[in-house]
């Protein structure tokens, strides 16, 4: 979010926001994520409800990956399917959002090897076969991650028209670590083995994080601008576009302690909406992620979902992310 980037990173994101607004987007100035982790935030957003209601009784479970069906078979998708939409998913290198069940699944190579299989190949004698497989197989790695980000943007910008309306889902893990691009999009070596680790799990200094995050952000901003311009230029029917980060940056995030975390940074997410026929006055300035699809479906499909109260939650224990404490009233306290 622009105020966080300015306040904590000394970076002015106004040109990017202005570009989106000139293309017709509504940029939500006080947008909030409801959770600090993708595994909580994304299923909540796609199912238009808080994760505590979607998965009750999970407080003592460490199995966070059980959220995966809430992403691939979300309530939003079920409603759109009933309305005649087809689903399109572009490949991700995070297993829960790599939705191979979509009607159309777009991926760069015939084999898409991520998660534990990729880790197993990379850390056992099987790794000697990786070069032989590389022409036909995508593997999670620094270079693979870089390639996949560019592939996803290129694919989204050039989707062919379909006879049916389509719901397109893409989870692009950037500017989130690892930082694999400089500001111009040139390859950057993170300097450590591939990992998505963020916040206090980030393996380098805060100074490196601050600089590398902004550099990668600048490249991603340009890719987003170009992608949006292409989508709108090629659209054959009215198009809704949602650009949403499922949480904020992690420079001052401690996954083991909400008290030691800058909640203002982590729970201030970016939301920009291209909503034909909707004026900025119709979109709450503090729209939360849990309400985005309620707003969109009410507007275009005539549903009547009430807006939920804006609340923010933080895991009490990083190993049990469903044990949540309400931190809504602490969002604006001074950062550690």
Task: Give tens-digit pLDDT for 152-208.
Answer: 999 999 999 999 999 999 999 999 999 999 999 999 999 999 999 999 999 999 999
Tell me if the pTM is above 0.85. Answer: yes
Residue at which a domain ends, from 174, 206, 236: 236
pLDDT of res. 183: 98
Q: What is the pLDDT of residues 88-123, one digit of tens each?
A: 999 999 999 999 999 999 998 766 777 656 655 666
Please spell the DSSP secondary structure of 78-131, one letter per residue: HHHHHTT-EEEEE--SSGGG--TTSSEEE-SSSEEE-HHHHHHHHHSGGGGGHH
pLDDT of res. 126: 62
245 and 157 co-located in one domain? no
Asked if the structure places residue 231 within a domain, the reply is yes
Asked if the structure places residue 245 within a domain, the reply is yes
Residue at which a domain ends, from 199, 220, 236: 236
227 and 246 co-located in one domain? no
With a CB cutoff of 8 Å and minimum separation 6, the contacts of 88 are 102, 103, 104, 105, 106, 159, 166, 167, 168, 169
185 and 261 co-located in one domain? no
pLDDT of res. 137: 67
Q: What is the pLDDT of residues 237-257, one digit of tens each?
A: 999 999 999 999 999 999 999
195 and 261 co-located in one domain? no
Domain of 173, in residue numbers? 85-164+166-236
173 and 303 co-located in one domain? no
94 and 217 co-located in one domain? yes
153 and 287 co-located in one domain? no
* Mean pLDDT computed over 233-238: 94
- Please give the distance of CA 267 from its chain centroid, rounded to a whole number: 13
For residue 308, the 8-state DSSP code is: P
Asked if the structure places residue 22 within a domain, the reply is no
Percent of residues, the chain, with pLDDT higher than 70: 93
Q: Would the pLDDT of 133 be above 80?
A: no
Question: If DSSP codes are grouped into helix, strand and coil, which group holds residue 159?
Answer: coil
50 and 104 co-located in one domain? no
* Mean pLDDT computed over 18-42: 98
pLDDT of res. 138: 72
Q: Would the pLDDT of 6 be above 70?
A: yes
Asked if the structure places residue 19 within a domain, the reply is no
212 and 159 co-located in one domain? yes
Q: Would the pLDDT of 236 be above 80?
A: yes
130 or 308, greater pLDDT: 308
Asked if the structure places residue 95 within a domain, the reply is yes
pLDDT of res. 155: 98
pLDDT of res. 122: 63
333 and 194 co-located in one domain? no
Asked if the structure places residue 21 within a domain, the reply is no
Treating both helix axes as pointing N-terminal to C-terminal, what angle do 75-82 and 292-301 enclose, rounded to 10 degrees?
10
Residue at which a domain ends, from 236, 268, 295: 236
Asked if the structure places residue 18 within a domain, the reply is no
Using 50, 70 and 90 to split pLDDT, how confident is the model at 52? Answer: very high
pLDDT of res. 62: 94
128 or 141, greater pLDDT: 141
pLDDT of res. 136: 73
105 and 207 co-located in one domain? yes
Asked if the structure places residue 160 within a domain, the reply is yes
Q: How many CB atoms neighbour CB 57 within 10 A?
A: 8
Total domains in the chain come to 2
- In the predicted model, what is the mean pLDDT of the chain? 94
59 and 40 co-located in one domain? yes
Q: Would the pLDDT of 51 be above 70?
A: yes
Supply 37's token pair: 């982790």
């Amino acid at each position: 979010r622009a105020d966080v980037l300015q306040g904590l990173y000394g970076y002015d994101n106004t040109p990017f926001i202005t570009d989106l607004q000139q293309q017709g987007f509504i940029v939500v100035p006080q947008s909030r994520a409801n959770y600090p982790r993708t595994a909580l935030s994304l299923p909540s957003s796609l199912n238009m409800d808080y994760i505590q209601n979607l998965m009750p009784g999970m407080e003592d479970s460490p199995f966070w990956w059980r959220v995966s069906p809430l992403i691939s078979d979300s309530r939003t998708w079920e409603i759109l399917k009933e309305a005649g939409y087809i689903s399109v998913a572009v490949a991700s290198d995070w297993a829960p959002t790599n939705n191979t069940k979509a009607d159309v699944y777009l991926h760069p190579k015939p084999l898409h090897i991520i998660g534990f299989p990729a880790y197993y190949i990379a850390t056992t004698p099987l790794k000697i076969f990786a070069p032989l497989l590389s022409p036909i197989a995508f593997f999670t790695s620094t270079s693979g991650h870089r390639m996949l980000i560019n592939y996803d943007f290129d694919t989204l910008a050039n989707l062919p028209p379909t006879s049916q309306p389509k719901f397109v889902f893409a989870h692009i893990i950037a500017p989130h670590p690892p930082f694999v691009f400089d500001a111009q999009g040139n390859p950057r070596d993170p300097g450590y083995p591939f990992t998505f680790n963020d916040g206090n799990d980030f393996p380098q200094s805060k100074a490196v994080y601050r600089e590398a995050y902004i550099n990668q952000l600048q490249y991603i901003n340009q890719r987003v601008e170009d992608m949006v311009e292409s989508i709108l230029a090629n659209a054959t029917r009215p198009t809704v576009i949602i650009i949403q980060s499922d949480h904020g940056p992690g420079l001052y995030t401690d996954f083991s302690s909400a008290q030691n975390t800058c909640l203002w940074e982590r729970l201030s997410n970016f939301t920009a909406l291209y909503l034909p026929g909707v004026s900025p006055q119709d979109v709450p300035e503090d729209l939360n992620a849990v309400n985005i699809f309620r707003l969109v479906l009410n507007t275009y499909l005539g549903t009547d979902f009430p807006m939920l109260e804006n609340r923010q939650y933080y895991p009490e224990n990083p190993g049990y992310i469903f044990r949540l404490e309400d931190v809504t009233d602490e969002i604006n306290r001074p950062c550690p």
